[in-house]
Amino acid sequence: MTRRLESSPRTIAELVVQLGRITHGHGYTEGLTPAQWSALRYLSRANRFSRTVSAFAEFHATTRGTASQTVKGLVARGYLNRTRAPRDGRSTRLEVTDNARAILARDPCEALVRAASALPSSARDRLATGLERLLGHLVQGCHKRQFGVCTSCAHLEVAGWRREGEPRFKCAFFGELLEETELAQICINFQPGKDSAMKRAFRGQA
């Protein structure tokens, strides 16, 4: 008879911490630190409203000063560019360079990605749902922001329909239309929604 792994809250917490430690330990490669790898991962997946030093500081749970030093090192190595944000000329937006995209192909976190891909899809779905809930409880208790994507955000709204019959979406928080590629990007202004606009739109088509 196969022994079932204990699933107490403490066991789950310790497993999550151990996964983090192992992944962090693999982060000293390609001349980068784990914090710099985290910045590249975040900025390569963040939407245009969230590619800032302060947003990365929130995501990485660190101070703005520490995040600024991490970003400064990546800019100096040619992995990030600073550009003026169109909405506010005083603020700076960070963009990953082609060099950064090339080095991300050798991201040490890919070992964890491969381990996750070895799980059956049903197990991955359950794990993802459980970890999202765990993270939600944790950030709420610590009064931190919960990052997420547009497809499950309360700020997502339908803004008309395309000729092909597909919905167009906009962010109600910023009042701006969103490209399809932006819907799966990370946002600092994410607000969990029980029933997203995307689900309502496609339910209406059914």
50-65 core/surface letters (b: 16 or more CB in 10 A; e: else):
bbbbebbbbbbebeee
pLDDT tens profile 113-154? 999 999 999 999 999 989 988 988 888 888 788 899 988 899
How many Å apart are CA 72 and CA 141, to the nearest integer?
31
Q: Hey, which CATH number is domain 15-112, 3.40.50.2300, 1.10.3080.10, 1.10.10.10, 3.40.250.10?
A: 1.10.10.10
H helix or E strand, kind and range, residue 149: strand 148-149
Q: What's the pLDDT score for residue 180?
A: 87
Residue 178, amino acid? L
For 55-86, write each residue's pLDDT tens digit: 999 999 999 999 999 999 999 999 999 998 77
Residue 47 has what pLDDT?
A: 95
Q: Is the pLDDT of residue 89 over 70?
A: no
- The lowest-confidence range among 89-98, 112-121, 171-180, 189-198 is 189-198
Looking at residue 167, what is its pLDDT? Answer: 81
Domain ranges of the chain: 15-112, 144-205
Q: Residue 191: what are its φ and ψ, rounded to 5°? A: -130, 115
What would the mean pLDDT of 17-27 be, rounded to a whole number? 91
pLDDT above 60 for 9: yes
Q: Could you tell me what percent of the chain has a pLDDT over 90?
A: 59
Distances (CA, A) of 82 to 2, 10, 43, 153: 54, 42, 12, 28
* pLDDT given for residue 120 in this prediction: 95
